[in-house]
């Protein structure tokens, strides 16, 4: 993380670049994590979170177009953006603690296992009420996994509600949830052979085409699979 915030009179001056910022072109504010003290032995120290007002000078949002030509995310560039002292979240230096708690929310929510749900429903509808044994087996397996993931997700939500820090549990939901999301297009494109097409419609062919392109990012956004598995292994005392 190379974006820096330097202390100046009455606030902080932020400079640096952040790629892959989802929906920055649709929002008024964002939260930025910046380095406010040099990297010491503890690499998690010296980071601070700021609330950034995107209508102010010193910050610009540049579009990044994705594989299917859509505009969901951006590159955000800070060039001497002034953040007043009262725009610091918590205290200076506690950014890492905040960001890891926020990630527990991001990694365990329904958007980490329901991204391809619409395709699952449309696939089941397309197969119809008399699936062959192979299709019935796959549908049963997906529905069972979905019910389990939902239980796991609500369980982590309960821990967050009680003020716990379920970072490892949330990493587990995200790793299993995004593997589930990615398996849905892979499985149904073999079960229902159709030429995938691009479009924002709700037909099986369009949902399949869009989902196949989108799914590549699911195991990257919010933390890559390898990083999450490393966290889980550490949480279990295996490394």
78 contributes a contact to ligand FAD by CB under 6 A? no
Instruction: Find the binder of ligand FAD among 6, 224, 234, 236 (CB under 6 A).
Output: 224
Which part of the chain contacts ligand FAD (CB under 6 A), choosing from 56-64, 81-89, 94-102, 220-228? Answer: 220-228
156 neighbors 90 (Cβ within 8 angstroms)? no
What are the structure tokens assigned to 231, written together?
């966290």
The distance of closest approach from Cβ of residue 218 to ligand FAD in the complex, given in angstroms and rounded to an integer, is: 8
The distance of closest approach from Cβ of residue 231 to ligand FAD in the complex, given in angstroms and rounded to an integer, is: 10
Site residues (CB under 6 A) for ligand FAD, limited to 46-75 = 73
CB-wise, 21 or 153, nearer to ligand FAD? Answer: 21
Q: Distance between CA 116 and CA 180 in Å, rounded?
A: 9
178 contributes a contact to ligand FAD by CB under 6 A? no
Q: Distance between CA 2 and CA 235 in Å, rounded?
A: 27
CB-wise, 61 or 124, nearer to ligand FAD? Answer: 61
Q: Distance between CA 155 and CA 169 in Å, rounded?
A: 9
69 exposed, middle or buried (CB, 10 Å; 0-12, 13-18, 19+)? exposed
* Nearest partner of 104 among 17, 172, 19, judged by Cα: 172
CB-wise, 92 or 222, nearer to ligand FAD? Answer: 222
The distance of closest approach from Cβ of residue 181 to ligand FAD in the complex, given in angstroms and rounded to an integer, is: 12
The distance of closest approach from Cβ of residue 193 to ligand FAD in the complex, given in angstroms and rounded to an integer, is: 28
Q: Distance between CA 112 and CA 97 in Å, rounded?
A: 22
Instruction: Find the binder of ligand FAD among 227, 233, 234, 236 (CB under 6 A).
Output: 227
Q: Residue 54 to residues 57, 64, 76, 219: CA-CA distances in angstroms?
A: 8, 17, 10, 28
Residue ranges that bind ligand FAD, judged by CB under 6 A: 20-22, 73, 217, 220-224, 226-227, 230
């Amino acid at each position: 993380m190379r974006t820096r915030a330097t202390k100046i009179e009455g606030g902080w001056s932020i400079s640096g670049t952040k790629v892959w910022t989802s929906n920055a072109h649709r929002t008024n504010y964002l939260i930025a994590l910046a380095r406010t003290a040099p990297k010491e032995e503890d690499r998690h120290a010296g980071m601070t979170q700021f609330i950034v007002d995107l209508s102010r000078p010193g910050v610009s949002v540049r579009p990044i177009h994705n594989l299917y030509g859509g505009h969901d995310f951006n590159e955000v560039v800070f060039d001497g953006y002034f953040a007043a002292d009262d725009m610091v979240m918590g205290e200076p230096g506690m950014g890492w603690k905040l960001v890891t708690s926020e990630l527990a929310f991001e990694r365990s929510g329904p958007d980490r296992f329901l991204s391809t749900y619409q395709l699952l429903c449309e696939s089941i509808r397309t197969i119809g009420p008399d699936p062959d044994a192979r299709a019935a087996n796959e549908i049963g397996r997906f529905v069972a996994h979905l019910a389990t993931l939902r239980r796991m997700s609500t369980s982590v939500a309960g821990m967050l509600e009680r003020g716990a820090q379920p970072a490892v549990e949330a990493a587990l939901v995200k790793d299993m949830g995004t593997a589930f999301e990615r398996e849905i297009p892979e499985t149904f494109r073999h079960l229902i052979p159709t030429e995938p097409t691009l479009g924002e419609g709700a037909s099986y062919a369009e949902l399949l085409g869009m989902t196949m392109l989108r799914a590549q990012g699911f195991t990257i956004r919010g933390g890559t699979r390898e990083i999450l598995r490393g966290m889980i292994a550490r949480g279990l005392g295996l490394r």
